[in-house]
């Protein structure tokens, strides 16, 4: 995209939102040192802004966030992007409704990912945000790891949603087996919010199993009821 075709005002807004989403990850204690990253997309232009790689959260500035096309071409910025960029871009290409992605190594969600287990919907906190279990990918094959590993991480995520017929807007997070969680939302801020709630839900599910090893999930009726309180036409939560 030639520089004169860029809507600089829209890009500035996007970078500010992405900066705030990254700072939210740090403020909520979801990231250690430079771990983790959040990104956002401007669907009009198709531009994606993302955290630069290895930069401490306290030093992030909006204008330093590198910007890429949806196909991964650098459009603007001097810093190298998060090494997870290609996972983010794949999610934006495949999940048309999302506007932000957040990746952390938050400790309980990561433990579920390392254990290779989906997080069951054990209660209404889960149901309020995730309309069913938070799925875990299959382990990547050796060829997928040796090949375009970061892209393939995204492919593993979208594959589990496709094969399970899961709506990514209804279950806005996934666990990558042996790795860590990715969360998303309509905006970068919502993606980070979902990453924070996911960690709380992961903790409570962990505690629940310790207290009741063969605990079953909440009923489908309760799952639907709570999810519909926060989302869609029947939403009653909030002031909107």
**Residue among 96 and 211 whose Cβ is closer to a copy of itself:** 211
Q: Residues near 216 by Cβ (< 8 Å), separated by ≥ 6?
A: none
Cα–Cα distance, 141 to 84 (Å, whole number): 18
Cα-only R_g, the chain? 18
What is the total count of residues that contact a copy of itself (CB under 8 A)?
A: 61
Selection from 157, 177, 176, 179 nearest residue 168 by Cα: 157
- Residues 167-206 vs a copy of itself: string with x where CB under 8 A? -----------xxx------------x--xx--x--xxxx
Selection from 190, 193, 164, 160 nearest residue 176 by Cα: 160
Give yes or no: 128 in active site: yes
- Residues 130-159 vs a copy of itself: string with x where CB under 8 A? ---------xx-x--xx--x----------
C-alpha 87: how far from chain center: 10
Paired strand residues for 165? none
Active site residues: 128, 237
The site for a copy of itself (CB under 8 A) is made up of 32-35, 52-55, 79-80, 83, 105, 107-108, 110-117, 122-125, 139-140, 142, 145-146, 149, 178-180, 193, 196-197, 200, 203-212, 215, 218-219, 221-222, 225, 229, 236-240
């Amino acid at each position: 995209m030639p520089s004169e075709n860029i809507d600089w005002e829209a890009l500035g807004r996007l970078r500010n939102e992405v900066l705030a989403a990254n700072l939210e990850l740090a403020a909520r204690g979801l990231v250690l040192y430079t771990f983790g990253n959040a990104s956002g997309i401007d669907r009009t232009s198709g531009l994606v802004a993302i955290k630069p790689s290895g930069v401490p959260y306290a030093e992030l500035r909006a204008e330093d966030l590198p910007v890429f096309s949806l196909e991964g071409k650098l459009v603007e910025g001097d810093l190298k992007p998060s090494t997870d960029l290609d996972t983010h871009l794949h999610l934006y290409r495949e999940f048309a409704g999302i506007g932000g992605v957040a990746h952390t190594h938050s400790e309980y969600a990561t433990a579920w990912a390392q254990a290779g287990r989906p997080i069951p919907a054990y209660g209404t906190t889960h149901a309020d945000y995730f309309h069913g279990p938070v799925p875990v990918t299959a382990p990547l094959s050796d060829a997928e790891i040796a090949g375009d590993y970061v892209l393939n991480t995204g492919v593993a995520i979208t594959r589990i949603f496709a094969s399970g017929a899961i709506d990514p807007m209804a279950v806005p997070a996934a666990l990558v087996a042996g790795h860590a969680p990715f969360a998303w939302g309509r905006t970068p801020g919502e993606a980070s919010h979902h990453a924070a709630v996911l960690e709380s839900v992961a903790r409570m599910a962990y505690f629940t199993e310790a207290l009741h090893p063969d605990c079953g999930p909440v009923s489908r009726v309760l799952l639907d009821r709570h999810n519909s309180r926060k989302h869609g036409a029947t939403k009653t939560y909030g002031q909107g």
